[in-house]
Amino acid sequence: MTKKSRKTKQKTLIQSEMQKLSSFFTADELYEKIKKKDPKIGIATVYRLLKDARMKKEMHSYVCDRKMVYSREKNNHCHFICQKCKKTTHFNIEKIDFLQAKINGEICHFQIDVYGICDTCLRQNID
pLDDT in tens, 34-67: 999 999 999 999 999 999 988 888 888 888 777 8
- Mean pLDDT across the chain, nearest whole number? 84
Asked if the model's pLDDT at residue 76 lies above 80, the reply is: no
Closest-CA residue to 52 (of 33, 39, 70)? 70
Domain spans in the chain, listed from the N-terminal domain onward: 9-71, 77-126
CATH domain 77-126 topology: Dna Ligase; domain 1 (3.30.1490)
Non-local (6+) Cβ contacts of 101 within 8 A are: none
Q: Are strands 67-71 and 77-82 parallel, antiparallel or unpaired?
A: unpaired
Q: What is the pLDDT of residue 44?
A: 94
pTM here is 0.63
Closest-CA residue to 2 (of 59, 55, 54, 74)? 55
**84 to 47, 79, 112, 120: CA distances (angstroms):** 34, 15, 19, 10
Class in CATH terms, 9-71: mainly alpha
Asked if the model's pLDDT at residue 2 lies above 80, the reply is: no
